[in-house]
Amino acid sequence: MTRLDVDKTIEELTLGEKVALTAGVDFWHTASVERLNIPALRMSDGPNGVRGTRFFNGIPAACFPCATALGATWNTDLLHEVGQLMGEEAIAKGSHIILGPTINIQRSPLGGRGFESFAEDGLLSGTLAGHFCRGVQEKGVAATLKHFVCNDQEHERMAVNSIVTMRALREIYLLPFQLAMRICPPACVMTAYNKVNDTHVSENKEILTDILRREWKWDGLIMSDWFGTYSTSDAIAAGLDLEMPGKTRWRGSALAHAVSSNKIPEFVLDDRVRNILNLVNWVEPLGIPPHAPEKALNRPQDQALLRRAAAESVVLMKNEDKLLPLSKDRPTLVIGPNAKIAAYCGGGSASLDPYYTVSPFEGVAAKSHSDVHFAQGVYSHKELPLLGPLLKTEDGQTGFRFRVYNEAPSEAKRTLVDELHLVRSSGFLMDYVNPKIKSLTFYVDMEGYFTPEESGIYDFGVTVVGTGKLLIDDEVVVDNTKNQRQGSAFFGSATIEERGSRHLNAGQTYKVVLEFGSAPTSDLDTRGIVIFGPGGFRFGATRQLSQEDLIAHAVSQASAASQVVIVAGLTSEWETEGCDREHMDLPPGSDEMISRVLDANPNSVVVIQSGTPVSMPWIGKAKALLHAWFGGNECGNGLADILYGDVNPSAKLPLSFPVRLQDNPSYLNFRSERGRVLYGEDVYVGYRYYEKLARPPLFPFGHGLSYTSFSRSDLSLSTVPELATLADGEPITASLTVTNTGSLPGAETVQLWVMPPVTGVNRPVRELKGFTKVFLDPGEAKRVQVVVEKKLATSWWDERRGKWASEKGEYQVLVTGTGEGELREGFTVEKTRFWVGL
């Protein structure tokens, strides 16, 4: 690739070529113009790893802890390292652009993609995102802040109108984007699917041009979310540079016509093209060749970083009687639905095929010097466990054959056009292409052989975007072809799982066939749903078991066990793109199991995995509780490092965990109703609400314990610029002494809050304005500094003026950290000022 002379290239491009450049050509590539040496650019999700160009049957990748897990580290240096490795992963996949980080706001615990964003607070989220982007972009790879803005729920995500005051938009929802841009201007921004105050963001001039371009002076590339472009002229005029994915729906001849008829002046189209060509130049030093092959890195140093990140994200929520850390020399009983599965990431476009995973049980078993036992306790799957890994092909390999035809099974003459060997019996075919497939309508027979180890009644389940019929020894057991019912899998585009059962004998081999028809064969009503490509399939099975038997068995094991760890929580089935959760509870049976095991052995340690808050009706009984999120490839090892004390927990919650769903501030206004959602809690999101009402949540934002203890003392504030590390603005430097007063090394997170004076404006009690993390040996004391910018630390958004207002008055700085106690100091703003800009 050679650098383009952008202005000259624009002069030389034909109208057709310019138009073509403004849309993708397929799921993951932009258009090329070989005549003028303009290459195609490749992009890939996403927030917790770089999947590459194939959702279906792709090359495995590193899976990082989910964003709420990374948010819990409050560690900007770690986020920088994570960004760097993410950049290297992108290069290995031949990708110029990473579609991440996600920095929407968790208004509600129920948001299906809540796990993808760092925090409920813009300062924490934006700061971490900025350092993450810096790491990515230092490697020459373009980062994408998404989804700009207010895509904070999944329900009717394309159609919903987010009704939000300008003040909340600025102070809560735009803030993480603004702050990330101050640290590292990203090369790309992706628009949100939804409307903000009546206009879809992808055609919202106020948001894209007036704020992002003019006010923030940002000159990168704006792309739409996938199928999130809804017009030709309006989107171009508002500032949307690139429609994704291809083939285009709105540009092509429609855009050429709009320019020819002067509905869109050609210089406006040129501005869009200029941003695309600038991005081509920006990524040019990467030297990624066209059609670059995709590789796996999976280096030991990467595994070590992933393990460090996983461990650093685990929050010690409770630790009465110093139950934790556990002893490596005593036997450990591990119980629970998440113990033997690796809940490594949430679902949807964030998900990827990981290089490997380590389950909590494997992590514990690898670390313990004594016996490690297991009891299931309860299952927590939403859909039946995948059957693929239990099948064998005719020639004895694990998995099944995937045979593709243009003709339906009912046709006498069928020609095989593709044959694959798969193990995962779940596939989203959005980017599956094969030139021999003649249309979007095609058929796949998946065939494998199942030999159960135990006799009994087995349930089988089939979920499809398309149609599916499961046969055992040629007899139909599940028919999901007619009267289909809408479900939540595959970004909300699939049917529910239809089930059937059959008695099977141990040791006997059965032929299992799934007859799949691609998306157009479905009779599902797809209004309001995004269909990504030709469809998807999933089939699973399990032997019918009594939940009571499973729980009773776990309880009796626990009562006699020396050390017990319960691992429960959610998985990518429960927290996924395309649908929000319906409630905050754990999957059926989990609460009962946890409660009964705690009764039987009150010293049991509870570990919960979820990307967002869950209710904990048994919390009063639990002496020790860890929150372990979705921890990426290394989730089991990272957890074991904390359980056995090889790593001292230092994570702090990036979200408030309410007692009940009803307590959360968006409770009355979450989900789309007749196409709109009112952001009724205004600026009182998360802790801002609980503190204003003096109604403590179960676990507050910023909470997290340690195996050691810390003290904080001698706070002083200085406004001398030389002391500060800020490039501009008027810095306020808070200096304090942090001491490790316990007997173990550990890291402390110092949190700096600002409390505004009482004026005529209703404001949160205090807001997070800065933080820093410091590592201390036992007995060690360090002087640490947190620098904040005065105008950012004091302002609220004045809607009447359309400006930030830093009002004169006395402000309080509060400094907190692990455990009780806060330090306070004051500073004065002498004169009220109003400002706009980044």
Of 690, 667, 696, 693, which Cα lies nearest the Cα of 680?
667
Does the protein bind ligand BGC through residue 468 (CB under 6 A)? no
The one catalytic residue in 45, 121, 152, 225 is: 225
Cβ distance to ligand BGC smaller for residue 99 or 273: 99
Binding mask 473-502 for ligand BGC (x = CB under 6 A): ------------------x-----------
Using CB under 6 A as the binding rule, whether residue 405 contacts ligand BGC is answered as no
Alpha carbons 539 and 468: distance in angstroms, whole number: 9
Which of 48, 153, 232, 349 touches ligand BGC by CB under 6 A? 349
Q: What values do phi and psi take at 127, rounded to 5? A: -65, -45
What binding mask, one character per residue, do residues 433-452 give for ligand BGC by CB under 6 A, x or -?
A: --------------------
**CB 225 to ligand BGC: min, Å:** 5
Q: Least distance in Å: CB of 269 to ligand BGC?
A: 25
CA 412 – CA 402 distance, rounded (Å): 19
Q: Which two tokens stand for residue 635?
A: 């989730």
Residue among 782, 781, 768, 778 at smallest CA distance from 816:
768
Q: Which residue is nearest to ligand BGC (CB)?
A: 349
The alpha carbon of residue 378 and the mean position of all alpha carbons in its chain are separated, in whole angstroms, by 26
- Residue spans of alpha helices (H) in 334-386: 360-367
Q: Does 146 bind ligand BGC (CB under 6 A)?
A: yes
| Distance in Å, CB of 464 to ligand BGC, minimum | 19
Residue 628 CA to residue 72 CA, distance in Å, equals 10
Query: Per CB under 6 A, which of residues 624..683 are in contact with ligand BGC?
Result: none
Binding of residue 226 to ligand BGC (CB under 6 A): yes
User: What contacts 790, CB < 8 A, 6 or more positions away?
Assistant: 719, 729, 730, 731, 732, 806, 827, 829
> In the Cβ-directed half-sphere of 344, how many Cα atoms lie within 13 Å?
27
Output 349 or 656, the one with its CB closest to ligand BGC: 349
State the helix-helix crossing angle for 266-283 and 252-260, rounded to 10 degrees. 130
DSSP strand pairing (563-569 vs 332-335) = parallel
Q: Give yes or no for residue 575 binding ligand BGC (CB under 6 A).
A: no
CB of 201 to ligand BGC, least distance (A): 12
What is the smallest separation between the CB atom of 99 and ligand BGC, expressed in angstroms?
4
Q: Three-class SS string for 576-618? A: ECCECCCCCCCCCCHHHHHHHHHHHCCCCEEEEECCCCCCCCC
Written as one string, the DSSP assignment of 742-760 is SSS-EEEEEEEEEEPPP-S
User: Measured between alpha carbons, how far is 222 from 203 in angstroms, rounded to an integer?
Assistant: 11
Query: Which residue, 225 or 302, is less far from ligand BGC as judged by CB?
Result: 225
- Closest approach, Cβ 528 to ligand BGC, in A, equals 14
Q: Does 152 bind ligand BGC (CB under 6 A)?
A: no
> Measured from the CB of residue 318, what is the shortest distance to ligand BGC in angstroms?
34
- Contact between 225 and ligand BGC (CB under 6 A)? yes
| Tokens (6 digits) for 744 | 């173990």
Does the active-site annotation cover 121?
Answer: no
CB 255 within 8 A of CB 264: yes
**CB of 33 or CB of 430, closer to ligand BGC:** 430
Separation CA 240–CA 437 (nearest Å): 33
On the 0-12 / 13-18 / 19+ scale of CB atoms within 10 A, 99 is buried
Name which position in 46, 220, 427, 587 contacts ligand BGC (CB under 6 A). Answer: 46
Name the burial class of residue 208, with classes exposed (0-12), middle (13-18) and buried (19+) by CB atoms within 10 angstroms of its CB.
buried
Amino acid at 330: R
- Which residue has tokens 């329900």? 155
Whole-number minimum distance, CB 156 to ligand BGC, in Å?
A: 14
Return the number of the residue (227 or 827) whose C-beta is nearest ligand BGC.
227
Q: Which is nearer to ligand BGC, 355 or 428 (CB)?
A: 428
Edge-to-edge order in the sheet of strand 456-465: 426-428, 536-543, 456-465, 498-504
Task: Considering the complex, state which of residue 22 and residue 349 has its C-beta at the smaller distance from ligand BGC.
Answer: 349
Query: Long-range contact list for 811-814, CB < 8 A, 24+ apart?
Result: 811/754, 811/755, 811/756, 811/757, 812/754, 812/755, 812/766, 813/715, 813/717, 813/732, 813/734, 813/752, 813/753, 813/754, 813/755, 814/752, 814/753, 814/754, 814/755, 814/766
* Other CB atoms within 10 Å distance of the CB of residue 415: 9
Q: How far is the CB of 102 from ligand BGC (least distance, A)?
A: 7
Q: What is the DSSP letter of 669?
A: G
Smallest separation, CB 207 to ligand BGC (Å): 17
Q: Rule CB under 6 A: is residue 45 a binding residue for ligand BGC?
A: yes
**β-pair partners for 568:** 608
Question: Under DSSP, is residue 312 helix (H, G, I), strand (E, B) or coil?
Answer: helix
Q: How far is the CB of 49 from ligand BGC (least distance, A)?
A: 12
Nearer to ligand BGC, 120 or 225 (CB): 225
Smallest gap from residue 70 Cβ to ligand BGC (A)? 17
Two tokens, residue 442: 């095609």
- Which residue in this structure is represented by tokens 């505004």? 756
User: Which of residues 153 and 806 has its CB atom nearest to ligand BGC in the complex?
Assistant: 153
Among 10, 38, 82, 99, the residue binding ligand BGC under the rule CB under 6 A is: 99
Residues with Cβ within 8 Å of residue 541, at least 6 apart in sequence: 384, 385, 387, 390, 450, 458, 459, 460, 461
Give which of 516, 505, 409, 418 is closest to 463, Cα–Cα: 516
Asked if 243 is part of the footprint of ligand BGC (rule: CB under 6 A), the reply reads: no
Of the pair 89, 225, the CB lying nearest ligand BGC is at 225
Nearest approach in angstroms of CB 344 to ligand BGC is 18
Size of the site for ligand BGC (CB under 6 A): 8
Which positions are catalytic?
A: 225
Interface positions with ligand BGC (CB under 6 A): 45-46, 99, 146, 225-226, 349, 491
